[in-house]
Structure 1
Amino acid sequence: MFAPLPTASMSVSQLLSESDSFVVPAYQRPYSWTIEEAGQLFEDIATAAGVDEADELEPDYFLGAILLLDPNSGATPASRPSGSANELEIVDGLQRLVTLTILACALRDLDPDPQSEIATRLDGLVRVPGMPVSDSSRIALPVEEWGIALDLVIAPGGCLRSVPAEQQLDSRQQAVINVRDRFMQDLKALSIEQRRALATYVYERCHMVVVKTNDIDRAHRIFMVLNDRGRPLQKKDILKAEILRSTEPAHRGEALAVWRDVEMRLGDELENFLSHLRAVHGYHRMQIIAGIRRIVREAGSARSFIHDIFKPLADAYAITLQAPGHKADIPLELRRALVRLQRLNGNEWVPAVLRILSLNLSDELTRQYLEELERAALLMRIVCLGSSKRQTRFAKIARDLSTPRPPAPVGLYEPSREELRAIAFNMRDLHSRNVQACKGLLMRINDELQPDAIDADPSDYTVEHVLPQRPKPSSLWRKWHPDTEERMRLTSSLGNLVLVSHKNNGLARNDEFLRKKEIYCEPGDAVPSLAVTAAYLDSDEWLPEHIRAREAALIALVNKIWRLELEVEAVDEAVA
């Protein structure tokens, strides 16, 4: 008879207090989560914890399965070798455990009282009490991987310290520091009470299914099954079965034909569509299946849901998806607006677009609404709102559009006074604050200068600094810009940024100005040059006055496009 696997659903607190040390075996890949992955986990947990909407707190948040190898399985503490630690090897789940450790450290170090119960409890999750910092981390990453991060993350107060200027980090250590900095940025935007509530939620309500074995071969087989085997039943399959079963028998064939038609047109996007459909009706914080079930009930019958809600919104989603490829049979100006939205990373704007396209408005009014949504989406990114906050803002817009008397297009979104200040501040160094927003802004400016380039693919281009960030000491750049502080300020200016192909970006690097201009417009590159790159670069020199003049011209275009009143002086003062 086989030995059953010990499994349990454990909270983060229970799991991390289960062992003195979690050992990382040599076959594990290094920590490699990006700030995008860590940021998404943070936003998901914060949403579940009801950080922004306390009344929408989820009872728990599931973090998946963790597979551990326990060489002492079955041994009691008394039967272990004298002096041996209670150690567990991490077979699967290392990336999540390290990320949760970094989050716990950031929450601990931002607590105003280092001796508070919450700070002490968080410290106990990540460190073994009484041990020196170098040996105290419960997750025993190789020293070359933790490295200086032990002092800058694990040690109490470490997350508040900056990386020494002379310290060189390898990619593994940099990944840890990048995630730490992302968490610190997100957490600083919360109040003390919100951070403490989030900390409590993390260690009490975030949980995992923990699987243990004491056989490495068995652990490997389990790992393969957990990661590679089987095809999970998707939400769309569950909902299809439920909704068709609930349809009156006389109309079931008709409903099935509609569903199959939508399946064929949307393909793999059907799952995403159902998520957006839920959000159109104001249930973006509910689980998808629960949200769709409620919408079906509110529709009165499954048949009404299929014909009055599901099909019209699916038609709108198909148009949205087809806009970039000239496949959608819609006027050019509507296609332009949809293409500009599709360029943006994130899709929080989709539910509002679906609502607009399903309202059967005139083409002109539809265009106005879509352009206002595009304005809102990009300005929120320049403000540097996270995806969760953007989702909340767009959910309100979708609700407003669903009322009997929806607001006029110009009333959909207006940045607050604080957001206008943030726009002015971030515009001064947008590339370092939000690379994707910076590229999106330059692409939108290019649309104004070069309307026929609407189908230019953002992934073909990268943001290039004309005045290099690190010019050679003997270069003309140093002669033209001798003042270091002013040079750094001008380098990050909007007036100094262009869009070029990845190939040309690699060729230009720190070259002199005239050579850079040749490279930017070099024939033979498969990626066409953009007007925003050539605009206002007709001088033979690139002096401070040229950068300021180009900045003023580009900001004037931004003001025209989005009804703003930014001034170059105000943008400069926002940083001074």
Structure 2
Amino acid sequence: MTKKISGAEYPLAKIFSSDFDYVIPSYQRPYAWTEVQASELFGDLYDFFSKEKDETYFLGSIVLIKEEGKPLSEVIDGQQRLTTLTILLAALTAQFSGDLRTDFESYLREPGRASQGLKPKPRLALRERDMQFFADYVQGLKLSELVALDPVRLDNESQRNIRRNAEVFLQRLQTVFKGSTAQLCDFGAFIVQRCFLVAVSTPSEQSAFRVFSVLNSRGLDLLPTDIIKSGVIGAVAPELRDEYNEIWEELEVKTGRDGFAEVFGHIRMIYAKDKARRALLEEFPERVIKKVDSAESLVKSVIEPFTQAYLVAKNCTYQATSKAEDVNTSLGWLNRIDNSDWLPCAMKFLAAHPADSEYTKWFFERLERLASYMYVCAIDVNNRIERYARVLTAMEGEHSTVHPVSAIELADDEKREFVDVLQGDIYSMMARRRNFLILRLDAFLSDGAAKYDPSLLTLEHVLPQTVAPGSQWAKWWPSVADQMRWVHRLANLVPLNRRRNSQAQNFDFDKKKTAYFAGKKGVSSYVLTTQVLQKATWTPADVQSRQGDLIDVLRKQWRLEA
């Protein structure tokens, strides 16, 4: 049999049809998309739906083991997208009733047709551990019951992600469409008719993995910057071409090929001040090159200074006779954030104000605070881009220490939102966000000299998540409501360099401090943990007092008084 590879672009109406019967193999990782990715997907779809009335939206590709003419499709790549799109379609379907609900429900479940030998069944079967959960709550449209479940009591992270993302989609649909059936239907029609996936299929497992490897390889194929370079250097005066080509190549060596491509994306943002909706190769000439007088000016006055600023920001190598350490400290924390949306603002500032160290310190302290607010509060990418665009717009005018860029300051409502999140359930945040917050707080409490390796970090509860009857904890914490109120909050969490013996997590306080929290020499690498080691008791009053103290530190250091 010929192991033919086929690929075609299909609308979601076809992707979620009887032509495909998706199965997620047991060896695949669990469903891992969090509310951040779900919010970004919804934001991207709604933004495109609102502004591009006739264009089609490309969602990427999926790789399947699938025999031609047979629906069974083993998903090698694309399960995160297929699962999230199914949750979104379920959230949409739940808004409808009658024939409209039946229509949209057919994208979640095969209704079955006896004449064609099709039995009723879900269109997507997750890994065995989550399959029934997903079929019952999502594909069975029991979304209200799903959202009402206590996430702590769910079996695994995958199910918690499913529950939270369903909640996110339901909230966003309600916020945006306010119950308008007609508008919801239009949005649903856009998703199934104008949103496309490329399905790459082969009957051979070996071939499917080869396709997956090629699609995800990071080889030295042409990058957009290579093609842009051809046009730009070609437009330079012939007698200057060698010089400008050398400048270009030196910058690319310093940043690396991928880093250089990232620089061009950030330059596009500096000029366009909005989210990219098309490929860089299409947008860069239109949004940047056309606005610059000449190819020579583009290289010397745009690409070179912004690339140098990018290297300073990424490598934390700001130099000045004073305040350089403070600036590089702020840059270090900015680089710990798991998105680079802050970089265009940093690049624009560093390219224009490299010598004013006092103003540079002021600016980067506030950029770090703004980026930290959006990171800790899980602000989605569209709102992040819009917020940074306001800063970039304000930076177009003259600004200095005397007249600083006020747009970079947190507004009062942003400060209130930040404090509300800091006061809430920290442990349930995505691990990287909560670890960032804990380390940032620990740095505020130290003299600033501490260096942290987040790969070694684990967060542990002082008051354990499970309080044993008759224990010291039960005497100090007789109220289950108090336990639930405080267990996951900031005051009850301590950073450790590695996970200790899991049995020690439920030790009484004195034993827990010595056997679990203290290092080999009876001390901890972290100020937050050392403070707990000095406590004699850990009652609700102790935790409440500590919570107030820690929030006060964050309020002061991040200047969060509204």
Shorter-chain-normalised TM-score: which range? 0.7 to 0.9
Paired residue for 2:372? 378
Q: Secondary structure at the match of 2:538?
A: coil
Choose from 437, 448, 455 the match for 2:444. 448
Task: Tell me the distance in 2 between the aligned counterparts of 1:186 and 1:156.
Answer: 13
Tell me: CA distance 1:131–1:438, structure 2 relative to 1, closer, same or farther (3 Å).
Answer: farther
Task: Tell me the distance in 2 between the aligned counterparts of 1:57 and 1:523.
Answer: 64
Counterpart contact for 1:48–1:60, Cα < 8 Å? no
Task: Tell me the distance in 2 between the aligned counterparts of 1:460 and 1:142.
Answer: 30
Residue by residue, what CA displacement relative to the aligned partner does 1:216-241 show, whole Å, maximum 9, x if unpaired?
34x74355145337744222222222
Residue by residue, what CA displacement relative to the aligned partner does 1:19-75 show, whole Å, maximum 9, x if unpaired?
2x51538x6634623124x74365146325416x933779333233345566563xx
Counterpart contact for 1:495–1:547, Cα < 8 Å? yes
Q: Is residue 520 from structure 1 mapped to residue 517 from structure 2 by the alignment? A: yes
Tell me: CA distance 1:35–1:15, structure 2 relative to 1, closer, same or farther (3 Å).
Answer: closer
Counterpart contact for 1:66–1:208, Cα < 8 Å? yes
Counterpart contact for 1:461–1:501, Cα < 8 Å? yes
What is the Cα deviation at residue 362 of structure 1? Answer: 0.8
What is the Cα deviation at residue 275 of structure 1? Answer: 1.6
Task: Tell me the distance in 2 between the aligned counterparts of 1:436 and 1:479.
Answer: 34
Paired residue for 2:86? 101
Q: Is residue 258 from structure 1 mapped to residue 266 from structure 2 by the alignment? A: no
Counterpart contact for 1:375–1:562, Cα < 8 Å? yes
Q: Is residue 199 from structure 1 mapped to residue 191 from structure 2 by the alignment? A: no
Task: Tell me the distance in 1 between the aligned counterparts of 2:481 and 2:397.
Answer: 52
Tell me: CA distance 1:505–1:35, structure 2 relative to 1, closer, same or farther (3 Å).
Answer: farther
Counterpart contact for 1:476–1:512, Cα < 8 Å? yes
Q: Which one is further off, 490-499 or 342-351?
A: 490-499
Choose from 51, 56, 73 the match for 1:60. 56
- Kindly provide the amino acid, as one letter, of the partner of residue 461 in structure 2: H
Counterpart contact for 1:126–1:138, Cα < 8 Å? yes
Choose from 288, 299, 304 the match for 2:292. 299
Counterpart contact for 1:461–1:500, Cα < 8 Å? yes
Task: Tell me the distance in 2 between the aligned counterparts of 1:169 and 1:481.
Answer: 25
Task: Tell me the distance in 2 between the aligned counterparts of 1:67 and 1:531.
Answer: 48
- Kindly provide the amino acid, as one letter, of the partner of residue 111 in structure 2: P
Tell me: CA distance 1:259–1:180, structure 2 relative to 1, closer, same or farther (3 Å).
Answer: farther
Task: Tell me the distance in 2 between the aligned counterparts of 1:281 and 1:505.
Answer: 53
Tell me: CA distance 1:225–1:436, structure 2 relative to 1, closer, same or farther (3 Å).
Answer: closer
Paired residue for 1:364? 358
Counterpart contact for 2:517–2:533, Cα < 8 Å? no
Tell me: CA distance 1:342–1:71, structure 2 relative to 1, closer, same or farther (3 Å).
Answer: closer
Q: Which one is further off, 39-48 or 267-276?
A: 39-48
Tell me: CA distance 1:447–1:161, structure 2 relative to 1, closer, same or farther (3 Å).
Answer: closer
* Identity %, equivalent residues: 25
Matches within 5 A, 1:524-539: 529-535=525-531, 537-539=533-535
Paired residue for 1:235? 224
Q: What TM-score do you get using the length of structure 1 for normalisation?
A: 0.82
Number of residue equivalences: 537
Matches within 5 A, 1:31-46: 32-36=30-34, 39-40=36-37, 43-44=40-41, 46=43
Q: Is residue 496 from structure 1 mapped to residue 503 from structure 2 by the alignment? A: no
Q: Is residue 468 from structure 1 mapped to residue 473 from structure 2 by the alignment? A: no
Residue by residue, what CA displacement relative to the aligned partner does 1:460-488 show, whole Å, maximum 9, x if unpaired?
22222211111332321111111110122
Task: Tell me the distance in 2 between the aligned counterparts of 1:530 and 1:166.
Answer: 30
Task: Tell me the distance in 2 between the aligned counterparts of 1:165 and 1:420.
Answer: 26
What is the Cα deviation at residue 114 of structure 1? Answer: 3.0
Residue by residue, what CA displacement relative to the aligned partner does 1:80-111 show, whole Å, maximum 9, x if unpaired?
xxxxxx634335445133332222113322x2
Task: Tell me the distance in 2 between the aligned counterparts of 1:88 and 1:149.
Answer: 19
Tell me: CA distance 1:511–1:252, structure 2 relative to 1, closer, same or farther (3 Å).
Answer: farther
Paired residue for 1:89? 73
Q: Secondary structure at the match of 1:238?
A: helix
Q: Secondary structure at the match of 2:561?
A: coil
Q: Secondary structure at the match of 1:106?
A: helix
Task: Tell me the distance in 1 between the aligned counterparts of 2:248 and 2:397.
Answer: 27
- Kindly provide the amino acid, as one letter, of the partner of residue 445 in structure 1: L
- Give the unaligned 5+ runs of structure 2: none
Task: Tell me the distance in 2 between the aligned counterparts of 1:169 and 1:432.
Answer: 13
Paired residue for 1:288? 280
Counterpart contact for 2:42–2:169, Cα < 8 Å? no
Q: Which one is further off, 181-190 or 235-244?
A: 181-190
Q: Which one is further off, 94-103 or 357-366?
A: 94-103
Task: Tell me the distance in 1 between the aligned counterparts of 2:282 and 2:375.
Answer: 30
The Cα RMSD (Å) is 3.5
Paired residue for 1:391? 385
Matches within 5 A, 1:318-333: 318-323=311-316, 329=319, 331-333=324-326
Tell me: CA distance 1:72–1:376, structure 2 relative to 1, closer, same or farther (3 Å).
Answer: closer
Q: Which one is further off, 331-340 or 176-185?
A: 176-185
- Give the unaligned 5+ runs of structure 1: 74-85, 567-576
Q: Is residue 50 from structure 1 mapped to residue 47 from structure 2 by the alignment? A: yes
Residue by residue, what CA displacement relative to the aligned partner does 1:419-457 show, whole Å, maximum 9, x if unpaired?
615632552222224544433232222222213435322
Q: Secondary structure at the match of 1:408?
A: coil
What is the Cα deviation at residue 205 of structure 1? Answer: 2.0
Residue by residue, what CA displacement relative to the aligned partner does 1:202-225 show, whole Å, maximum 9, x if unpaired?
212221223455xx34x7435514
Q: Is residue 429 from structure 1 mapped to residue 419 from structure 2 by the alignment? A: no
Q: Which one is further off, 345-354 or 281-290?
A: 281-290
Q: Secondary structure at the match of 1:451?
A: coil
Q: Is residue 277 from structure 1 mapped to residue 232 from structure 2 by the alignment? A: no
Q: Which one is further off, 196-205 or 265-274?
A: 196-205
Counterpart contact for 2:21–2:71, Cα < 8 Å? yes
Q: Is residue 414 from structure 1 mapped to residue 427 from structure 2 by the alignment? A: no
Q: Is residue 24 from structure 1 mapped to residue 23 from structure 2 by the alignment? A: yes
What is the Cα deviation at residue 177 of structure 1? Answer: 5.0
What is the Cα deviation at residue 305 of structure 1? Answer: 0.9
Choose from 478, 481, 498 the match for 1:485. 481
Paired residue for 1:80? none
Tell me: CA distance 1:484–1:264, structure 2 relative to 1, closer, same or farther (3 Å).
Answer: same
Paired residue for 1:79? none
Task: Tell me the distance in 2 between the aligned counterparts of 1:552 and 1:120.
Answer: 52
Q: Secondary structure at the match of 1:34?
A: coil
Q: Which one is further off, 361-370 or 463-472?
A: 463-472
